[in-house]
Structure 1
Amino acid sequence: MKESEIQFKVQVDESNLPKTITWNATDKEGEGLESTKSISLNVWDNLNQSTLRIDLWTDEMSVAEMKRFYIDVIGGMAQTILTSTGDEYMSEEMKDLCDRLVKHINEENAKS
């Protein structure tokens, strides 16, 4: 059986806020740590039947990037729910939400 590992390293400031986030994975292309501005990790806690979440971002991540990041996350989840369960309705609803959020962001950008 193959084993894979994903590693995150977070450097925090004196207020315990993330300053740098790097990651590595045994199965990723390229070698060594890569820098990122944000991570969102969700883990299913089977014992308590609930989701544990870790959301971290550096102060270098702009509001626009954060909004785009979460639209991409939801879009990815839409594909995952379709692949894992075959639930087309749920997947399409999530994709529709992404479309509405993109429209909202475009309208925000047009105002500024």
Structure 2
Amino acid sequence: MKSTITINVDLDENKVPSDISWSATASTAEKEKRAKAVMLSLWDGAERAALRIDLWTKEMMVDEMADFFYQSMMTMADTYGRATQYHDQVKEMKDFAQEFYKKFQEKQLEQQKAT
């Protein structure tokens, strides 16, 4: 079985993403799904290098970006754990993600108090 994943990015006149949508042939979704951001990482084994595409639309709010990063870090830790069984490092990664998110929330509170 083969699935094709398509990511469509509409750009504004300054080449900034204005809309991101995706679809997959093996998905149960009947139509394209919209997204405000995408982070795609590919591993080039020959070059031993990560290739990345990071895009987000102008509508992506800072709190959404923090949620996106927090959730991405937590799922990356889970994936790393399934691949390696290095539970001590998984815990460290998740602890870092939680501390990152806590600091973000503190910054948000500080900004709210300042306004």
State the TM-score, normalizing by the size of structure 1.
Answer: 0.93
Matched with 1:79 is 78
Measure, in 2, the Cα distance between the counterparts of 1:62 and 1:98.
19
Q: Which amino acid aligns with 2:86?
A: D
Number of the residue aligned with 1:43: 42
- SS across alignment from 1:23: strand
Deviation at 1:27, TM superposition (A): 2.8
* SS of residue in 2 equivalent to 1:28: coil
Using the alignment, how far apart are the partners of 2:90 and 2:27 within structure 1?
Answer: 27
Task: Report the Cα distance in structure 1 between the residues aligned to 2:48 and 2:89, rounded to whole angstroms.
Answer: 20
Could you tell me how far 1:106 is from its partner in structure 2? Answer: 1.9
In 2: Cα distance, 1:53 partner to 1:77 partner: 15
The alpha-carbon deviation at position 22 of structure 1 amounts to 0.3
**Equivalent residue letter for 2:100:** L
Partner SS for 1:104: helix
Q: Tell me the number of residue pairs that the alignment of Structure 1 and Structure 2 aligns.
A: 111
Runs (4+) off by over 4 Å: none
Corresponding letter in the other structure for 2:19: T
Counterpart check, 1:23 vs 2:22: yes
Instruction: Report percent identity of matched pairs.
Output: 34
- For 2:28 and 2:105, the matched residues in 1 are separated by 33
Q: Distance in 2 between matches of 1:89 and 1:5?
A: 35
Equivalent residue, structure 2, for 1:63: 62
What SS does the aligned partner of 1:10 have?
strand
